[in-house]
Amino acid sequence: MSTTRSSTMSTMSTMSTATTERNDVTSDVTAATRSTGSTGSTGSSTQEAGTPHAVPAPRKRMLTGDRPTGKLHLGHFVGSIENRIRLQSEYEAFFIIADLHMLTTKNTRADIDQVSKNARDMVLDQLAAGIDPAKATFYLQSAVPEVMEFNTLFQNLVTVPRLERVPSLKDMARAAGKDEMPYGLLGYPVLQAADILCVKGNVVPVGKDNHAHVEVTREIARRFNHLYGDVFPIPELVVSEITTLIGTDGQAKMSKSLGNAIMLSDDAATVRKRVAGMYTDPNRVRADIPGTVEGNPVFAYHRAFNDDQAQVDEFAVRYRAGRVGDVEVKEALAEAINRYLEPMRERRASYDAQPGLVDEIIVEGTETTRAEVRVVLSEVKKAMGITGAYNQLRRKAEQARKKRD
């Protein structure tokens, strides 16, 4: 894999002939075509309505991302990164580093001081995992301040009771130890709508906790179009077959803060150590006691990561029969995970050999995104008539000044 810097600008005008074939929802095709074609924001204004097959439709846009809270682990990989890698060829991909969203629950100076490092780590993890910087655009949310203008305008398109019914917000408030809902956190889905709509995103692949946010986004887009004219596509939620990966300690979810994670950046020795310490069947104090495979994290990981599923089948049979020790099963698992991570380590090493490259990728992506967002913002303001107000005032002011001089 080449890590030479290829211009992300070129992805902005990439055309795909493949997309039209897999589109099953005709109305969405129309929406996407109209929205990207009308602003000229893809750099390709050749798409004419009513000339089917004359020109390939612009690729649909995907937007997703994360708050910059740290390095990624295997749970992130099977839960979403793997999905992004698959989708990056199909869609024009934008990946947000949502530091403004992070502020809704973590806003100390110390939290904020971590953003650049966390952003770099997270992007590197994704690049190492197989996101292609020539296809994807990574950007830092706070460096596209126009998103805050979208946020302000969108705040009037949704009600407080509607936001109060979004269940994830209460969960986030609770998890952050807040006994009252911060105003910004209540507005989390509105800001997310701003992220998605400011690039006219067509598809949003996110986990379950974010589904309600995409629903709010769709409502805001519809409301906007209804009030001011068709500007936005109605973004589709991409419900991915997301597997939540169990923690190494057997807890429901892998999470760095719970200390039950295997990081994508762990080296081979660390992986061996973490696997050796994994929770298995607690009743199995000796290798000749029949063990339970179901719900056993060691077997869950074998299923998820071992490229030799025949070996896993065989282990499962022997485990149930009390004919294999945990140590043997775990050693094979550590090997399997290390085989799985090896290509990522190679890609990571090639990025590491080019210091500053990840930063460049983020900065270039941010510039690209910002340029896009500005185009959409002016379209939004025009549709709303906001630009008109000041233009009228300016015109009068100028006339007055001319008269005076």
Which residues sit at the interface with ligand TRP, rule CB under 6 A?
Answer: 63-67, 96, 98, 101, 192, 195-196, 204, 206, 210
- Give me the least distance between CB of 214 and ligand TRP, in Å please: 8
CA-to-CA separations, 167 to 179, 185, 207, in angstroms, rounded = 15, 12, 14
Closest separation between CB of residue 19 and ligand TRP, Å? Answer: 20
Nearer Cβ to ligand TRP, position 33 or 210?
A: 210
Residue 81 has, within 13 A of its CA and on its CB side, a CA count of 23
Nearer Cβ to ligand TRP (11/64): 64
Smallest separation (angstroms) from ligand TRP to the CB of 131: 15
Rg of the Cα trace of the chain? 24
Between CA 365 and CA 371, with CA 367 as vertex, the angle to 5 degrees is 115
SS3 category, 11: helix
Cβ-closest residue to ligand TRP? 98
Q: What does the alpha-carbon distance between residue 310 and residue 18 come to, in Å, rounded to a whole number? A: 36
* Amino acid making up residue 209: D
**Tokens found for residue 206:** 């996110």
Asked whether the CA dihedral 307, 313, 318, 319 is positive or negative, the reply is positive
CA–CA separation, 46 and 95 (whole Å):
26
Closest by CA position to 369, among listed 198, 222, 131: 198
- Residue 191 C-beta: closest distance to ligand TRP, Å: 7
Q: How many CA atoms lie within 13 A of 404 on its CB side?
A: 6
Q: Which is nearer to ligand TRP, 66 or 236 (CB)?
A: 66
Nearer to ligand TRP, 197 or 298 (CB): 197
Nearer to ligand TRP, 61 or 330 (CB): 61
Q: How far is the CB of 172 from ligand TRP (least distance, A)?
A: 9
Provide the Cα torsion 372, 374, 376, 379; round to 10°.
-150
CB of 193 to ligand TRP, least distance (A): 8
Residue closer to ligand TRP, measured from CB, 133 or 189: 189
State the nearest-atom distance from the C-beta of 207 to ligand TRP, in Å. 7
CB nearer to ligand TRP: pick between 122 and 336: 122
